[in-house]
Structure 1
Amino acid sequence: MAYDWQPLILTLKLATVTTAILILIGVPLGYWLAFGRFRLKAVVETLVAMPLVLPPSVLGFYLLLAFSPKNAFGRFLDDTLGLRLVFSFEGLVVASVLFSMPFMVHPVQSGFQNLPRSLMEAAYTLGLSKWQTLIRILLPNIKPSLLAGVVISFAHTIGEFGVVLMMGGSIPGVTKVASIAIYDEVESLNYSAANFYAFILFAVSFSILLAVFFFNKRALRPL
């Protein structure tokens, strides 16, 4: 029996793009939350953490409303930028970035907060700027935390269902990722195909996590 590999390819593409964007956003945001001192910090941290407790369907529903061309913001994106996010791959990326944000930001923030202040003070004493200190001193010292954020974000995106269903539906080759394909196949009582997709996702997630645990174990091994 021939299986359609398109949902799996689309899932890996979504997870890769989402994780890359989260690295670009999550590292500066984690740094800001770790070292920043401002009045609304608790509010920002709460907003970042909301996907941890908010049902995916709720977040997906509000994103669907916000980006719908029938509403002001969605109409603005469509008319001004020609960008329609509902039922599109780009919309899945936006939803996935928002939904997986805490899985990148929290490990990075924790990694920064656990570093001794003397590292930053020594770097500033040597004349390094904040940007140079971040790139050359801080990031190399939080590699396990950064790797954890990358892996968890990637794996979490692979397993997303509610958010991607609300934002993208089930359009083959566009928004039908593996989790949606499993749901569709089960509804059609095609358990063989559902098992194929489920097993691939299980194997990929297990392999990624196993590699991370192995890497961290070797990194923590005394010389």
Structure 2
Amino acid sequence: MLATATDPGVVFSIRLTLRVMAVAVPAFFLLGVPLGYLLGRGRGRWVAALDFLVSLPLVLPPMAVGFFLLLVLGRRGLLGEPLRHVFGVEVVFGYPGLALAAVTAGIPLMVRPIQAAVRGDLMRLVELSAVLGKSWPTTFVRVVLPHCRKSIAAGLFLATGRALGEVGVSLLLGGDIIGRTNTVSLEIYNAVFTGDFVRAGLLSGLLALVSLALTLALKRTGRG
């Protein structure tokens, strides 16, 4: 067990997963809070279309989501080819693809709690703030964020847990290249496929402990 825990492949997958989450967690906050507010307050066709797109990773199989993203961001994709030729950026089969997969998988779970919180009595508080002459940035920081803080925390915990366990989208966007794009979840997949159940059990146990910690934090947030 100790030899497996210190195996370079296992250590690499853990480090890579931490690097991916270092991008995904801030992205959940920076993208999820404005999206949740917009979808909770906004009306119209464009808002409905955006709501539909945000919901897709929840209702579509992860492999299907990854396939559609691959069509768009692949080397000959609608956006992938211009990004590669003009900016020299290649999203798929590398770290950017893994980070995008994690954000795509988790963002719906970040948005939904905030969207529900905004549909409550928050609008009355926002209107009162405007009547008092407060600017929109001040209102957002001093009214919206404090009002939604428990929903934001819950969304972060849920989105992080979902992103940590992501396999389908990561498999297509990252390619599961050993020593390059094999995150912990993909390393578990590889270990099971090759019959290395000790490695799979060790990494699965690690993810289970992290998920348990996130669940306890979520329950504590709900009681608070």
Instruction: Compute the TM-score of the two structures, normalised by the length of structure 1.
Output: 0.91
Q: Which runs of 5+ in 1 are unaligned?
A: none
- Between stretches 98-107 and 136-145, larger displacement belongs to 98-107
The one-character-per-residue Cα deviations of 1:87-124 (angstroms, maximum 9, x if unpaired) are 01111112222232211111111111123433112211
Runs (4+) of structure 1 exceeding 3 A deviation are: none
Q: Which residue of 2 aligns with 1:2?
A: 4
Q: Which residue of 2 aligns with 1:203?
A: 209
Is contact 1:159–1:179 with CA below 8 Å preserved after alignment?
yes
Matched, 1:46 2:52: yes
Aligned length: 218
Map residues 1-223 of structure 1 onto 2, 5 A cutoff: 1-3=3-5, 4-217=10-223, 219=224
Instruction: Compute the TM-score of the two structures, normalised by the length of structure 2.
Output: 0.91
Is contact 1:12–1:158 with CA below 8 Å preserved after alignment?
no
Q: Which runs of 5+ in 2 are unaligned?
A: none
For residues 85 and 46 of structure 2, the distance between their equivalents in structure 1, rounded to whole angstroms, comes to 34
Identity score, percent: 34
SS for the counterpart of 1:160 is coil
Is contact 2:4–2:198 with CA below 8 Å preserved after alignment?
no
For residues 117 and 215 of structure 1, the distance between their equivalents in structure 2, rounded to whole angstroms, comes to 23
Question: For residues 93 and 154 of structure 1, do their structure 2 counterparts lie closer, same or farther at Cα, with a shift above 3 Å needed?
Answer: same
Is contact 1:7–1:172 with CA below 8 Å preserved after alignment?
no
Superposition deviation, residue 213 in structure 1: 1.1
Superposition deviation, residue 176 in structure 1: 0.5
The one-character-per-residue Cα deviations of 1:127-155 (angstroms, maximum 9, x if unpaired) are 11222111111110111100011111111
For residues 198 and 88 of structure 2, the distance between their equivalents in structure 1, rounded to whole angstroms, comes to 40
Code of the aligned partner of 1:23: F
SS for the counterpart of 2:45 is coil
